[in-house]
Structure 1
Amino acid sequence: MIDLLINLLSPLFIAMGASVADVGNYLRAVSGYIYAILILVALLIVVMVAAHFVAKKGTRHVVRWSGALSFSLALVLIVNLICYGPMNAIVSGVLNASKAEISDDVAGNSRAVVQEAAEEGMVLVKNNGLLPLSGNVESLNVFGWASAYPVYSGTGSAASGDNSSGVVSIIQSLQDAGYATNDELTNMYLKYWEGRPEIGMNAQNWSLPEPTSEYYEGGVMSNAAAFSDTAVIVIARSGGENADLPTDMYAVQNGTYDVAKSGRVQESVTANYGYTNGTFYGNSYDYNEFDEGGHFLELSHTEKDLVENVCAHFDNVIVVINANNAMELSWVDDYDEIGAVILTPGTGETGMAALGNIISGAVNPSGKTVDTYVRDLTSTPTFQNSGNSGNHIYTNTADLQKMLAREDKTYQGVVSFVDYVEGVYMGYKYYETASDDGVIDYYSEVQYPFGYGLSYTTFTQEITAFEQGKDTVSVDVTVTNTGSVAGKDVVQLYYTPPYTNGGIEKASVNLIDFEKTQLLEPGASETVSFTVALEDMASYDSGCIKTAAGGYILEAGEYAMSIRSDSHNVLDSRTFTLSADVDYSTDGRSSDKVPATNQFGYAESPMETLSRKDGFANYATATAAPAEERYLLSDEDEGVIKNSTIIRYKPEDHDDPDAVMPTTGAKNGLVLADLAGKGYDDADWGKLLDQMSVDEMVTLVNTGGWQTAAIDSVGKVATSDCDGPAGLSHYLTGATGTQFPAEVLMAQTWSKEMADKIGDAMGQEFASANNYGWYGPAMNLHRSAFSGRNFEYYSEDAVLSGIFASYEVNGAAKYGVYSYIKHFAANDQETNRCALLMTYLSEQTLRENVLKPFEMVVKNFNFDSNVMGVMTSYNWLGNVPCVSNADLLQTVLRGEWGFVGAVISDYDGSYGYMISHQAILAGNDLMLGQGMFETNEFTNLDSATTVTALRQASKNILYTVANSGYYADASASQGGMSNMTKIFVALDVGAVAVAVALEAVVLLRWWNKRKKTAAVDQ
């Protein structure tokens, strides 16, 4: 019966964003109640039938009405039991959530900030003098289907706002800048395909609906030439959560590409070049859009035809790349007619307004790239070893998968792996180092360096002061506008450490800080000052070359500090020399609470890692596709996996015999509001926690799906937490705020001031909506250009990401918002993310690249009175899930970095390994779900170890909420009846009153009729 309901209701729930596994668990959770309702229905039928044959004629309607009303009241009771029982987390999450009614002035500020971010973040990467357009250009032909349906964001948790209401389009932007646009072209695109194909959570549509050449016949091009001699071509790409971008579009269009990445080949739907769960619609039946080996981030044949056609008819062509992922763009240099290229990733609600202003010259572009734009994305060091390159699925785990599927019905995946074979040489760090070492011809591989961007004016940058102190290096840089128009420039500070062949791995170019100038008028100068801690240039010695157990070390030798226009081109530099190594593995760096040492040996890759030794001599072997034997999971790892999943995980195996059962249910008279603003170690926390029952702790820990639960014993109010990195979005209620730009566009501003403004505006929206929990920002890395979620992450560089996120988090914290920075850690691909994805990498790679942004945000948090949070990721580090990795969450996050606050899981879909007991023991306090899975159950609540862990997790959650905007006004945070309870009390009282009234009417009518009958008989 339940399985039948699952099959019947799955399409509806999937349309609402839930998975089949979610549907199954929702229905299984209420299965007993469903059977009770069916029994009541059967009883009601029996009563109705019996009334006809047993009851007297005059009383039949009384029996039937009474039976129907009793059934209704019983149904009301069952609904109450469901809503306050297995479905409590979902129902309370909806009814207690903020309605996100953001005030007009706050929303207006956000819209202004979004536009400003785009004005500073759009990047001009090519300009032969075409831009800004001369004043005599009054009309523009805008080509490309994407001109009518641009990319404003991505899909998933970073989607917010309504892109059909209030959003500034490309056409509006150009018209607002004073240009007339060709309606004939725009109307053609609007009619060709309505709406942008959705790349969503549960299904992807990789279609690129560009009209074919015949659509431009019949005078369209001649009319366009008569309309204007200037053309704009818009090319767009988008991505989303839960899927990486296809690297074999030929297979996609012929229905053989495995979008779900589950090891199953999708059925081909040849009539439209589509396939189930991941659709592709070609633009012509006469040809394939892509040749064999073609990928999503290069032009389709129809797009190539468009570019060729436009360049054949116009001498002045502007190309707008409206893409959230770095594309292959060498083609823009194949046409002399293409005079300018602008990068405009997801612009959010009003960001596209910047485009017209930049083209006209009203705004001078100052954005810089946050990724290295290479000429061939299939030749990057990561291409063969990341989610885009195919399923890295263990081939000998069929039995393990069957066990997981049987034990946990949410599991529908595989057991897979990814190796970070590039080591520390991610992105520009490889290309700059290989170039410096004479291994590659730089510009034959790189088109636009990291940190690259043009302006309408020119600048000089000069180091005017340089001083090496005991623990720091100070650098002053004077920037002068030497051109003819006002503009802003970015000062990028890099360091080059000494490298010993075969020693600790080091890139030759490493970003360490940056600043953006104010608007400088022609001839004006500004001096930018940096103070860099020497310890921030230390390398992590995971191979124990110079440390006993791993750790940071600043090696002796010559260091170069350079300012660059981008990662490749040096403007000025200075050097300093260290006479001796500085070993931080024993005493730690000044920012460390505990010295960092090796903790993640189990995550070391069995694959060879790229090394600078002998000029990257191992490049070919290290970056090759995994060998056949790599696809075999070892017996040892399989055993560890079983112990970490529902197959064999036993809470009692983790009991500490010395643990002491904490006090519960005490009557100390405290409420959470009493603890607001008190230190984490204040003695009253112990007294408050003593008041909680074990069941309340379980409820608090398991009820973390876009909320935290109300706890009566401590007077804790229910709270509402929201996605996401690009704006407020509540998954349960559908409430949204302003759509902010994609994080990649934010980072392209290279502006700390802009980061603070974005965080400030976001914080105002959350506070205005009375929502203080924020699932963001996100700071995983652009390890591969094909990661579907790159729009949600800042950059390929850890330092740029960490600095930007630090300012954004601090900006929001001013309003009492606690940010769950995410996804901790190594969630740099979407492929197999909810399956058992084993991530393997060196500890040096982990600490210097993957963990670095998180470390910077935690250490740069400025507020003693407020707190922040962390969200863990789905993937595993080696054979340990991140959600239950004590080395990650306790030793590093809390121990080494000194983090204080709550750690939440990513969405708790169980997947066989998101086990609440295991998570809290490791330091993951809150499960982002509704506590409905078997993996959420606590079966040993008589264990002192379990209750102690529950108590600690509860403290972290309570401390975070108490020091947020929810408790800024003590009078409004004293607990009391929740909104859900108020609604249910009102509805229940109303239902009972109506039932009693109806029953009284029925009985009264029956009594009156009986009296009349009796009178007639007399």
Structure 2
Amino acid sequence: MIKYFKKRKAWKQEILQRVRGDKAKRKERKQEIAALPESEQKAEVKNDKLLRKEKKQQRKEELKSLNRKERKAEKKEAKMYKKLKNRPRRFTIWSIFAALLLIIFITFGPRAISIVENMAGKYITIDTTSEEADQARATADDVSEKIADEGLVLLKNENNSLPLEDKKINVFGSTAFNFKYGGGGSGASDLSRAVSLFDALKNEGIEYNQELYDYYMGLPEIEASTGDSDTGLIQVAKGMLSSNESEGEPDVSDEALAQAKEYSDNAMIVIQNDAVEATDLSEDELRISDDMRALVEKTAENFNNVTLVVNAGNTLELGFIEEFPSIKSVVWTGIPGPFGTNSLAKVLSGEVNPSGHITDTYAYDVDSSPASENFGDYQYENLDKAYLNYEEGIYVGYRFYETFYQDDEEGYNQAVQFPFGSGLSYTSFDWGIVNQELNSDSIELQVEVTNTGDVAGKDVVQVYYSPPYTPGGIEKSAINLASFEKTKSLEPGESEVLTINYDTRDMASYDMENENYILENGTYEIKLGNNVHEINNTVDFELSEDIVYQKDADTGTEYKNRFTQSEKDLTVLSRNDWEGTYPSDQDDSKVASDKVIERVQEHEFKDDVEMPTTGADNGLKLEDLKGLDYDDPLWSDFLDQLTVDQMIDYVTEAAYHTKEIDEHGIPNTVLMDGPAGFNFFGFKQFEAGAYPAEIAVASTWNKDLAYEMGETIGHEAQTYGIHGWYAPALNVHRSPRGGRNFEYMSEDPVLNGMIGAGMSKGVQDQGVTVFMKHFIMNEQETNARSGMLVWSNEQAMREIHLRPFEMTVKEAGVTGAMSSFSYIDGKWANSALLNGMLREEWGFEGVVTSDAVFGFMEPEKAITSGNDLMLNLLSVPGHQDALEEAYDEHPAAITTGLRNSMHNSLYATLQTYLFD
């Protein structure tokens, strides 16, 4: 081993010398070019670029001529070169923040102090140190592990290789030492109590190969990072600066391999991907690296029982496992929280019978979905904005694969490896429909589930529907998730009857031409599935005539198209003409039309409204309105008391808190991220409960457990002094490459809505405001923070992207929402979305906050369009100035907007435990 270290050190020093030499040459070359006449400099720079390109191509050809071993050595050396070359970037992040602080002080002078205080979390006055807080975290830890237990998915288990019969195992790969417990950015959580994989195995009575462990720990590439985490702001900065390139997987020596073979015939490898808020993933990052493949190949060739653990929040290409018969089992953990390793160990030992199901389609090619054709960096040539075309329409995830390959089973099997909803168990179950009530109002099935195996376990009954389709008519997926239920833990031979019901109108499609929802006549096949493709039972529901729904069932608001004013021409995918309508970014017009430019720039201030009263002395306190309806007349008297300055300060300085206005009894509130447990996006860290990422929560397919998680978060909030929660995140997995897929739940809107509604209701029932996010269409990180124009059609928006939010509003009664970065239908803070859809059509009563503020987010447009609070860490003074200037020009419109924002915000505050 000493000889190895000496050899590696010498090799590293040799590469370091090359790095320094090349750096000196580049510096010398720059000086040579700088000494030339300006007219010659550009030509020399161009020639140098051409030479570099030629050398790069030549190098590629040389690598092709090498054998595999030589090629691997060359790649390893290239990676080390790049690592050493970029080493100074470690200081870049803190340099950026230091420079940022300097700019703040120079730009804002005395007012810069408040900005720094916001970033430092001055107003985050919470107590996480009390005995009650310790108890709340202990409860959170229990719930977190319970979710991980039920969220783990068994995808493959040939010859019942799991649970392990021989409780001895070899753990290969550096990834086992850097298990991914949580995500990054706002989806980060406190991992200070995380359990290492090896401790989890030991605690569960599984012996791991200590010599193999020591071998890996002796390698310089290995840095165990259990419990390490940065604040959300730093993680996002790292994500924006990082190239997401792997450092490479160290090889296993022949001696270590021989010892491992003697130790046990069981082997395990953990595969991962790196995803964090602010960056998306490339296709290559969703495939295992050459180094990891080499490790898999070597392990599979030398061991007869190999377990592959998928520790990733994005769907990976897993087709390679079929090349190796010795990979008997595949366990998906997702991003399972700090105790997910305990759950994995319990699944390996058999203490826990896996009952999770995946929430995405695992395709052999991650780029095979139509949404992948329009995912990435698209910039207008004549408008300082990026854009993104959702040309896939309703065909997101399984809706595409199941519809495109509807009559082509062979093609389907070549495209899809693990269908949406897949998940195995250590036992078997039998289903039988014992009662059914199918009518024009509701669909209800009573399904008896019996454990026919030898061990206790839970099962999930997934209910889908296949609607009648007319070629050339309204677009419809061949199959859609309608609902689901999960059993309790059933002992062998035990049965449970599950009642699964949903409104018949939930199967209706949106008709853009007639601006309504419609159930077209014909046969609706109601299907019970183990997953979306493996159907257990089917019953038919016959509808003799069309049923047209003109109004929202809950509010009575008449339906109408709300997102067509932009006149953006899209060719949206149609099952009637797959080839002619299949998305492509090659035909995009990168020139924004005059109408689009006007739409982005225009904003209507309603100056004809009556000027509201301000600064009145009516003697009311906020508590006097407790229990009153949103539209009670007393609200008007209370709002009359607020001054314009008070309202401007309140709506602009609303990052992670809202300000106290003592004279009116308005309290300071604390609002915290995030979906996997409370965290603060700035520089403040604290101990809190930590949960699996949302994708792992959804993979439980357990609505009651989602509620329990929300309930626990609500109790924890009360204990700490937190009043609002920036979560859950309800956006869909539009593409496997989405950087925040770990933070979102699934590719299916109904699954998102059911789990999200359960979680939200649990929190709201404890008197804590839920801010469901990101409303809407925030499925890509690339260009998101520059204000990207997202284009779709009304049907896809309603049936896919709006659906989980609608379900959460109506089923959980949430009083908060967070708008997305996206320009929807050409508008950021789109009134048709925030006022028309959210408030008018769905009946939402509460507050809308922006996401973290960036330059394109103008407060005067926000508060006059339904976005009430600005989640503003850095630009509070500028926003206050902007509102004051807008007030001078549009006094009645701005005052009315501010007043509405205060009404919405304070109504939500009144529903919190502060006023119990």
| TM surpasses 0.5 | yes
Corresponding letter in the other structure for 1:393: Q
Residues 62-81 of structure 1: matches in 2 within 5 Å? none
CA contact (8 A) 1:770 1:966 kept: no
CA contact (8 A) 2:361 2:398 kept: yes
Indicate whether 1:94 and 2:122 are aligned.
yes
CA contact (8 A) 1:504 1:541 kept: yes
Distance 1:640 1:326, change over 3 A: same
Corresponding letter in the other structure for 2:869: L
Alpha-carbon shift at residue 477 of structure 1 (Å) = 1.1
Distance 1:829 1:373, change over 3 A: same
Corresponding letter in the other structure for 1:850: H
Distance 1:597 1:154, change over 3 A: same
Corresponding letter in the other structure for 1:607: L
Indicate whether 1:893 and 2:838 are aligned.
yes
> Structure 1 CA distance, aligned partners of 2:652 and 2:801?
28
Indicate whether 1:322 and 2:349 are aligned.
no
CA contact (8 A) 1:145 1:210 kept: no
> Structure 2 CA distance, aligned partners of 1:853 and 1:18?
37
Corresponding letter in the other structure for 2:406: D
> Structure 1 CA distance, aligned partners of 2:907 and 2:686?
26
Greater shift in the superposed pair: 922-931 or 119-128: 922-931
Alpha-carbon shift at residue 633 of structure 1 (Å) = 1.7
**1:847 match: secondary structure:** helix
**2:618 match: secondary structure:** coil
722, 733, 740: which one aligns with 2:672: 722
Alpha-carbon shift at residue 437 of structure 1 (Å) = 4.0
> Structure 2 CA distance, aligned partners of 1:99 and 1:133?
43
Which position in structure 1 is the counterpart of 2:456? 486
CA contact (8 A) 1:97 1:707 kept: no
Alpha-carbon shift at residue 683 of structure 1 (Å) = 2.5
Distance 1:744 1:96, change over 3 A: closer
Indicate whether 1:457 and 2:427 are aligned.
yes
**1:192 match: secondary structure:** coil
CA contact (8 A) 2:612 2:892 kept: yes
Which position in structure 2 is the counterpart of 1:622? 582
Alpha-carbon shift at residue 300 of structure 1 (Å) = 0.6
Which position in structure 2 is the counterpart of 1:966? 914
CA contact (8 A) 1:148 1:186 kept: no
Which position in structure 2 is the counterpart of 1:299? 288
Which position in structure 2 is the counterpart of 1:239? 275
Which position in structure 1 is the counterpart of 2:887? 941
Alpha-carbon shift at residue 99 of structure 1 (Å) = 3.6
Which position in structure 2 is the counterpart of 1:924? 867
Alpha-carbon shift at residue 193 of structure 1 (Å) = 3.2
> Structure 2 CA distance, aligned partners of 1:696 and 1:306?
63
> Structure 2 CA distance, aligned partners of 1:189 and 1:432?
44
Aligned-residue CA RMSD (Å): 2.2
Which position in structure 1 is the counterpart of 2:738? 787
Indicate whether 1:116 and 2:158 are aligned.
no
> Structure 2 CA distance, aligned partners of 1:493 and 1:344?
24
Q: Which has the larger radius of gyration?
A: 1
Which position in structure 1 is the counterpart of 2:213? 186
Which position in structure 1 is the counterpart of 2:537? 572
> Structure 2 CA distance, aligned partners of 1:24 and 1:797?
45
> Structure 2 CA distance, aligned partners of 1:635 and 1:941?
29
Corresponding letter in the other structure for 1:231: A
Indicate whether 1:643 and 2:643 are aligned.
no
Which position in structure 1 is the counterpart of 2:257? 221
> Structure 2 CA distance, aligned partners of 1:370 and 1:603?
33
**1:479 match: secondary structure:** strand
> Structure 2 CA distance, aligned partners of 1:416 and 1:933?
27
Which position in structure 2 is the counterpart of 1:700? 650
Alpha-carbon shift at residue 90 of structure 1 (Å) = 5.4
Alpha-carbon shift at residue 622 of structure 1 (Å) = 2.2
Q: Point out where structure 1 has 5 or more consecutive residues left out of the alignment.
A: 1-9, 34-80, 248-294, 402-414, 645-652, 969-1018
Corresponding letter in the other structure for 2:788: L
CA contact (8 A) 2:123 2:670 kept: no
Corresponding letter in the other structure for 2:302: H
CA contact (8 A) 2:552 2:842 kept: no
Distance 1:155 1:583, change over 3 A: same
Indicate whether 1:168 and 2:203 are aligned.
no
Which position in structure 2 is the counterpart of 1:751? 702
Residues 792-941 of structure 1: matches in 2 within 5 Å? 792-861=743-812, 868-881=815-828, 884-909=829-854, 911=855, 913-930=856-873, 931-932=875-876, 934-936=878-880, 937-938=882-883, 939-941=885-887
Alpha-carbon shift at residue 11 of structure 1 (Å) = 10
**1:185 match: secondary structure:** helix
Greater shift in the superposed pair: 228-237 or 818-827: 228-237
Which position in structure 1 is the counterpart of 2:249? 211
Which position in structure 1 is the counterpart of 2:447? 477
CA contact (8 A) 1:809 1:819 kept: yes
Corresponding letter in the other structure for 1:152: Y
Distance 1:369 1:88, change over 3 A: closer
> Structure 2 CA distance, aligned partners of 1:451 and 1:146?
27
> Structure 2 CA distance, aligned partners of 1:874 and 1:355?
36
CA contact (8 A) 2:104 2:112 kept: no
Alpha-carbon shift at residue 440 of structure 1 (Å) = 6.8
Alpha-carbon shift at residue 753 of structure 1 (Å) = 1.3
CA contact (8 A) 2:421 2:530 kept: yes
> Structure 2 CA distance, aligned partners of 1:486 and 1:142?
28
CA contact (8 A) 1:145 1:209 kept: no
Aligned-residue identity in percent:
36
Greater shift in the superposed pair: 695-704 or 188-197: 188-197
Corresponding letter in the other structure for 2:200: S
Residues 360-375 of structure 1: matches in 2 within 5 Å? 360-375=349-364
CA contact (8 A) 1:728 1:765 kept: no
573, 589, 595: which one aligns with 1:610: 573
CA contact (8 A) 1:416 1:835 kept: yes
Which position in structure 1 is the counterpart of 2:9? none
Corresponding letter in the other structure for 1:962: L
Residues 309-348 of structure 1: matches in 2 within 5 Å? 309-348=298-337
Deviations 1:610-643 (A, max 9, x none): 10115x343xx5222332x522222332233233
**1:532 match: secondary structure:** strand
529, 536, 553: which one aligns with 2:499: 529
> Structure 2 CA distance, aligned partners of 1:592 and 1:188?
65
CA contact (8 A) 2:761 2:812 kept: yes
Greater shift in the superposed pair: 225-234 or 777-786: 225-234
CA contact (8 A) 1:486 1:520 kept: yes
CA contact (8 A) 2:333 2:340 kept: no
CA contact (8 A) 2:173 2:250 kept: no
541, 555, 559: which one aligns with 1:596: 559
Alpha-carbon shift at residue 480 of structure 1 (Å) = 1.1
> Structure 2 CA distance, aligned partners of 1:626 and 1:539?
30
Alpha-carbon shift at residue 360 of structure 1 (Å) = 0.9
CA contact (8 A) 1:603 1:841 kept: no
Q: Point out where structure 2 has 5 or more consecutive residues left out of the alignment.
A: 1-88, 230-234
CA contact (8 A) 2:358 2:699 kept: yes
> Structure 2 CA distance, aligned partners of 1:531 and 1:134?
39
Corresponding letter in the other structure for 1:526: E
> Structure 1 CA distance, aligned partners of 2:897 and 2:242?
40
Distance 1:24 1:417, change over 3 A: farther
Indicate whether 1:633 and 2:592 are aligned.
yes
Residues 26-175 of structure 1: matches in 2 within 5 Å? 26-31=104-109, 33=110, 83=113, 93-101=121-129, 103-135=133-165, 137-161=166-190, 163=191, 165-175=192-202
> Structure 2 CA distance, aligned partners of 1:603 and 1:318?
52
Deviations 1:734-777 (A, max 9, x none): 23412210111110000111111111121122111110210001
